[in-house]
Amino acid sequence: MSSNQKLYEGKAKILYSTEDPEILLTYFKDDATAFNAQKRGKIVGKGQMNCKISSLIFKLLEANGIPTHFIDCPEVDKMRVRRVKILPIEVIIRNIAAGSLCRQTGLTEGTVLKFPLVEYCYKNDSLQDPLLTRDRLLIMELATPEQLEQIRTFALKINDILTDFFNQCQITLVDFKIEFGLDGENNLILADEISPDSCRLWDKSQTDPNLRVMDKDRFRRDLGNVESAYQQVLERILAQTS
């Protein structure tokens, strides 16, 4: 395959080939979408910030035994990653009730969950990423029972590592979404990104439900100061990792 060919363009990232068939280049865009792309906009500097935040988090997870697709960042908004086949499952881990969990269950936003909740959604825009049961997921053959078990184990371990880390940053990890891929040997590997686009992050120093938001909910809910919230997340992560 020739290098620098656009392989795929998503809502927030573009994937390019490289001279090495096992390595891809991800370009992080400033584009932001919400509500299944019904709301669109730009968050200035988001591409660079999310690329940096994701790479720091992937490095932290690798250091704690989680295999990720991360290789390095040759440019501020570009990440080199190992080529994997992405499983069409959005894995969501929740510590505190927010978003669709509140809409679907009536739980009040901010309720601390008795244990971390691991949920699976079908990554399918035309079906609007529906919530899956374990049996639906297996019947649809989106993963094998063994892969699903490993996904759950990884998801809970990632949640432990990131909850501790964000606590040190004075940030509460409310919930987040991750995606996994399979490499050439069918090993399960953490892929995609982990950033304020894919996490709910609340500033521990704020109690006001709008002021505490440091993630894409600022864009979704038109709360303003989106760029500075992302920047603040990056600065706190840098302060803890350098």
CB of 38 to ligand UDP, least distance (A): 11
The residue nearest ligand UDP at its CB is: 99
Contact 49, 237 (CB under 8 A): no
Looking at the Cβ atoms of 18 and 32, the one nearer to ligand UDP is: 32
Looking at the Cβ atoms of 5 and 124, the one nearer to ligand UDP is: 124
CA angle 121, 127, 133 (to 5 degrees): 35
CB of 71 to ligand UDP, least distance (A): 22
Q: Please, which residues have CB within 8 angstroms of residue 173's CB and are 6 or more apart in sequence?
A: 95, 159, 162, 163, 166, 167, 199, 200, 201
CB of 229 to ligand UDP, least distance (A): 13
Distance from the Cα of residue 86 to its chain's centroid? 14
CB of 19 to ligand UDP, least distance (A): 31
Query: How many CA atoms are closer than 13 Å to the CA of 39, on its beta-carbon side?
Result: 11
Residues that bind ligand UDP (CB under 6 A): 90, 92, 98-101, 129, 175-177, 198-200, 216
Looking at the Cβ atoms of 119 and 183, the one nearer to ligand UDP is: 119
Residue appearing with tokens 């490095």: 59
Looking at the Cβ atoms of 37 and 238, the one nearer to ligand UDP is: 37
Q: Is the sign of the CA dihedral 189, 231, 121, 127 positive or negative?
A: negative
